[in-house]
Structure 1
């Protein structure tokens, strides 16, 4: 396998990897609960029901995107198969892309209200999202929600919203954005707000939205002294090693649970699942270059040296001291 092929294979394997951990399970259970309530309302046709929202705000590389992708690919697709929306012969990836039961909206950079409405229309597959005035776009969105019996709206990258900027126009725009988001909740459709920690102040600055928020989901940074956090990270590291072999990248299992690799990798990753995956992915490249049968401690150390310090996750390589002792 040439260098370019190996690089593409490793990158694809990590992009496709879905490792379930405690905080992913909690998030998915929360999403399921919101959808179950929404289905009950849709089934009995009860009007005037106000939905709730939850938030998933965490730093970059905490694993937010993976949680959303895993939910759409597993929970949502399973539901589509079970109720007959799609034949089980249709590939899961295609069902996830075509279904509108759970709609994930990627909020555009520096989004205004009009561009936000267009983002939602694009998520529904509207052929001409730029067409129409504000009222027309809102009407089409609500029509799609009823037509597809949408159970959950997920607004991703909420940190892109232009809320919190100074100035009379910006303040008025923020109010309009909040009002539209409240309209969805008042219309009975639950929402998951996702974004970096910067998004929290933007979304929850509105009291009425904040009052309807039933849960703020946690995703890091993890604290190694916390038993639940440490257990979740340890299990995650173990599954990373197993998946490197299952994906066919290596012939032997990479054992990241031996010695004190877990606490060192935890420090190198700054307590984030996503950064841990990135370090292991980089280590996999180094191992492949050497023709190794699995990812070893030395590869993790080299990856941490290049990744952790560069991304200011650590001031030193957490593996260096241990490697020096081993060499001695």
Structure 2
């Protein structure tokens, strides 16, 4: 039994929130991004190509990108900060200027709102060279390529081509599955390396290996939770967690956090099915009846 009597509720909540469990999708995402960046360990970085890491929401793509950035932190050079890996968080809206501002923010450039887009592009290109950027990652890249807005779509494609023309780094676009086809429709971008890509998928309970990996991941979470072990990896419990999460690590973590908070609140020694059931009810769509944590799995 875990002795949590000396741990405050807030500390236990933070422990749950901060749990990181390594898993197959995360490893695959890290391997793909490392390969896009530097295909030979101890060798030189690739340049001039666009690549893609795609998959449904909450499959671990952005988490992997942050890990890559953390592994290649900025350093101080003679003429300023050098940034081996640049992570750009794509804006939801804002058009061409929003895209440029997001890149400028990642480069920590101070830019006047009166500067024209053309001048800002030149400033960004100069800074990419000066900062010796070796790898650029665009997260939520589907926002760069809105199919219904041809103007922004054309601008984003043209901007990526200009950046690749520097021939100093590869660009990785992280996004939803449709990101691949939108990039591939541009023959000039497709020609920059052939669009190497990695597609992450949610875990599939009907696949024996996926099921094994998912149950192992549930077991790791169970070990890290500040409670007595609850048996998350048992076939019945793990299947319920799979049904709720759809096999996506991000959705699974959401349920673990909420159910854990509910267990802390009522002083339980374990995180029980009823805690998950309440967490699922709180997220159930209007009119939806099914709750995997309340029905018999027999």
Q: TM-score scaled by structure 2?
A: 0.81
Matched, 1:192 2:172: yes
CA deviations on 1:164-221 (whole Å, 9 max, x unpaired) are 22xxxx4344223201112222323111212234544443332332343543323323
Counterpart position of 2:33: 31
Q: Are 1:143 and 2:126 counterparts?
A: yes
Partner of residue 303 from structure 1, selected from 275, 279, 285: 279
Consecutive unaligned residues of structure 2, counting only runs of 5 or more, are: none
RMSD: 3.2
In structure 1, the residue matched to 2:56 is: 59
Deviates more, 1:54-63 or 1:261-270: 54-63
Give per-residue Cα distances to partners, 1:112-146, cap 9 Å, x unaligned: 22321121011110012645333322222222222
1:64 to partner: Cα distance: 2.7
**Equivalence for 2:153:** 174
CA 1:306–1:7: 2 relative to 1, 3 Å:
farther
Separation in 2, partners of 1:136, 1:41: 31
* 1:284–1:295 CA contact under 8 A, matched in 2: yes
- Whole-Å separation in 2 of the counterparts to 1:19 and 1:210: 35
- Are residues 288 and 99 of structure 1, via their aligned partners in 2, closer, same or farther at CA, if it must alter by over 3 Å? farther
Q: Is the 8 A contact 1:111 1:160 kept in 2?
A: no
Partner of 2:72: 76
**Which residue pairs with 1:239 in the alignment?**
220
2:202 aligned to which of 195, 198, 221: 221
- Provide the residue aligned with 1:134 in structure 2: 117
The residue aligned with 2:294 is 320
Q: Is the 8 A contact 1:106 1:119 kept in 2?
A: yes
The whole-number CA distance in structure 1 between the counterparts of 2:125 and 2:37 is: 17
Mapped partners of 1:288, 1:107: distance in 2: 37
CA 256–14 in structure 1, closer or farther in 2 if over 3 Å, else same: same
Number of equivalent positions = 285
**Partners of 2:83 and 2:145 in 1: how far apart?**
27
Residue 284 of structure 1 and its aligned partner are, at CA, apart by 0.3
Name the structure where helix makes up a greater proportion of residues. Answer: 1
Which deviates more from structure 2 when the two are superposed, residues 175-184 or residues 278-287? Answer: 175-184
Aligned ranges 1:238-277 → 2 under 5 Å: 238-245=219-226, 250=227, 252-277=228-253
SS in 1 for 2:258: helix
Match of 2:189 among 209, 213, 231: 209
User: Is it true that 1:154 corresponds to 2:137 in the alignment?
Assistant: yes
> What is the deviation of 1:37?
5.4
